Structure 1
Amino acid sequence: MNRILHLLAMITLTIMTIHIVYNAGKTEESFTYFPTDQKASFHTADTSLTLIGEAANGYTIKWEVSSVLDRKAYLRQDISLLYVNGLLKEKIGQDWKQEEDKIHLDKKIQQDDSANFKAISFHHAELHRNGRITSTQKITHDDLYVLHSTDAPLHSFHQPIGKEDKEWKFVIDQIIQNRLKLALQKTEGKFNINHDQYTVIPLTDMYQFEASTLPGFNEQETKKILGRLWEGIYKNYFLGIKGMDGTTIDPVGSTIPLILIANDQSHLFVISELKNGEAMILRQQIPAH
């Protein structure tokens, strides 16, 4: 329990004034959702987080993202976002690949305190065949907890085993939930959004809709919404957030984006609090179905 209290002392929540960063207009997307290719599929797609061991000022984890399509695609791209205790630590991607089926990305990350690491990845392929353009996509993730303390061995887990793991997971999860709750409350108050009119899902949980459907939507509609969502995430978040003054803000340090899907199925919001305290709020229309 002393280790848990030490963690709480190390990680604090900062209350800052929100300003608006708003991108609701039509933009040319780099990821483009085309009708799903019924013949193309990923042989494999994976995101993994692995504790390597002690480092000079803490410890190191390895972050890997890979995918193999069952054919070469006109365009291939994988991107991944890594959040530490609910804040964006790093992002990885690469130049668009033409006539490629395989992608592999990896990076080593150093951290000095106990933390939860959440990685969420989007694997995308655009295919051109017989004058028709289609696409296929997949979302993968990983979730790792690392306990680092001067009075106990370095330890990591994906799922808690034993009482101490469960206590640490509870404390770290509360820190993350409080950060996201605060970001949501600020946005609600600033932009008059009532979260009771929305289904609220963290971006890092969107992988679950690979095997199920979004509330109120069928499988095909879910795939289309996810594809268009990642169009917006890539253009307006991953590559940098455009402020109203035309400047580009680095998303590193921002909270995990919350996806707010309207109960009337007409639109969704993407909200996040940036490192400087500003708010990112994106709106996407959901075509009638």
Structure 2
Amino acid sequence: MRKHLFLFITIFVIATSTFLLNRGQPVKESITFFPIDPNVVFLNAFTKLNLLDEKKPDQYSVDWKIGSTLEREAYLRQDIGFLYANGRLKGKMGKWKQNTAHLSQQQTIYDKDSSHLEAVSFHHAEIHYDNKQIFSAQTMSADHLYVIHSSFSPLQSFRTPETKEETEWKTTIDKMTNQGLDSSWTNAIENFSIRRDQYIMIPLTNLIDYNNRPLPGFTKHESERILGNLWEGLYKNYFLGIKKRDGTVVEPEDSIVPLILLAKNKSHLLTVTETRDGEPIMLRQQIPRSR
């Protein structure tokens, strides 16, 4: 009897310990797309860039903020963001938290050159229901800012030029940035023998244009799924590091703005970029058929 009682207690303790350990395991940091829940929306989501009033002769600083609030608590909330300066990745931010509706994060970015700063963010929620069903809620936000840092003029910033001088600065910076991006994108497209005429091309920094309207040739429902899967792929294969052809993984900083190539036959999409050292990179995602 005593032996059986001891065996029962031992089994109970092991089972209880296993249960508690499993309950205490942290949720893996990731973005995973699930079907969109039409009944759950973001109350707000924002990305903001503001020039800080810090007077230093050799550099300037910019406040970069990302935040979002869901209308209800979610099992998992996650926001990620990229900041590009003249077409190259200047910084990234990511934050995740369980059982919350709100997220916010901030960074101070330092630079010395006149720049067009472009920030884009993805706001995601993983929603679990008692019947074991899992859904997503998602949205995007973006901001941009021209910062002029020159010995010939005072430190200034603007989003839309209002003077002749600001217009000239915008033209100069845009021309330089676009030339660099076009050269890098062309190099990647030619390296992977991609036929341009078979794709619709959208820079990552322009994806915000499709936050509230469908991608070309797709319905709103299809676009939500494509964007959700795209950001899932960007998180795993770009935000966390870029895998090069030799198998090494490098940080994405100083890589060029990814170019999204959406196949006109609706079968797949490609994402091309270029690492800091100039190696072209391509990611491919299949587009599931509509159900």
TM range (shorter): 0.7 to 0.9
Query: Structure with the greater relative contact order (CA < 8 A, sep ≥ 6): 1 or 2?
Result: 1
CA RMSD in angstroms, aligned pairs only: 1.4
User: What aligned pairs does 1:178-217 form with structure 2 within 5 A after superposition?
Assistant: 178-217=179-218
Corresponding residue of 1:51: 51
> Does the aligned pair in 1 maintain the 2:73–2:101 contact within 8 Å?
yes
Between structure 1 and structure 2, the one with the greater Rg is 2
Q: Note the alpha carbon deviations across 1:61-120, whole angstroms, 9 max, x for none.
A: 1000000111110001101100000000110112x3110111110011111111010000
What amino acid sits opposite 1:79 in the alignment?
Answer: I
**SS of residue paired to 1:260:** strand
Between the aligned partners of 2:260 and 2:107, the Cα distance in structure 1 is: 27
User: What aligned pairs does 1:169-248 form with structure 2 within 5 A after superposition?
Assistant: 169-248=170-249
Between the aligned partners of 1:115 and 1:92, the Cα distance in structure 2 is: 19
Corresponding residue of 1:118: 118
Between the aligned partners of 1:242 and 1:273, the Cα distance in structure 2 is: 11
**SS of residue paired to 1:172:** helix
Q: Could you tell me how far 1:234 is from its partner in structure 2?
A: 0.1
> Does the aligned pair in 2 maintain the 1:36–1:134 contact within 8 Å?
yes
User: What aligned pairs does 1:53-202 form with structure 2 within 5 A after superposition?
Assistant: 53-56=53-56, 57-94=58-95, 96-130=96-130, 131-202=132-203
Q: Note the alpha carbon deviations across 1:113-132, whole angstroms, 9 max, x for none.
A: 11010000000000001321
What amino acid sits opposite 1:107 in the alignment?
Answer: Q
After TM superposition, the structure 1 stretch with the greater mean CA deviation from structure 2, 167-176 or 70-79, is 167-176
Between the aligned partners of 1:115 and 1:132, the Cα distance in structure 2 is: 46
Between the aligned partners of 1:212 and 1:43, the Cα distance in structure 2 is: 18
Between the aligned partners of 1:99 and 1:151, the Cα distance in structure 2 is: 51
**SS of residue paired to 2:54:** strand
> Does the aligned pair in 1 maintain the 2:52–2:63 contact within 8 Å?
yes
**SS of residue paired to 1:74:** strand
- TM-score (normalised: structure 2): 0.87
Kindly, what percent of the aligned residue pairs are identical? Answer: 46
What amino acid sits opposite 1:266 in the alignment?
Answer: S
- TM-score (normalised: structure 1): 0.87
What amino acid sits opposite 1:50 in the alignment?
Answer: N
Q: Note the alpha carbon deviations across 1:222-279, whole angstroms, 9 max, x for none.
A: 0000000001000000000122433211110000000000111111110011111111
> Does the aligned pair in 1 maintain the 2:214–2:220 contact within 8 Å?
yes
What amino acid sits opposite 2:50 in the alignment?
Answer: T
**SS of residue paired to 2:174:** helix
Q: Could you tell me how far 1:189 is from its partner in structure 2?
A: 1.8
Where does structure 2 lack aligned partners over 5 or more consecutive residues? 1-27
How many residues are matched? 261
What amino acid sits opposite 2:100 in the alignment?
Answer: E
Where does structure 1 lack aligned partners over 5 or more consecutive residues? 1-27
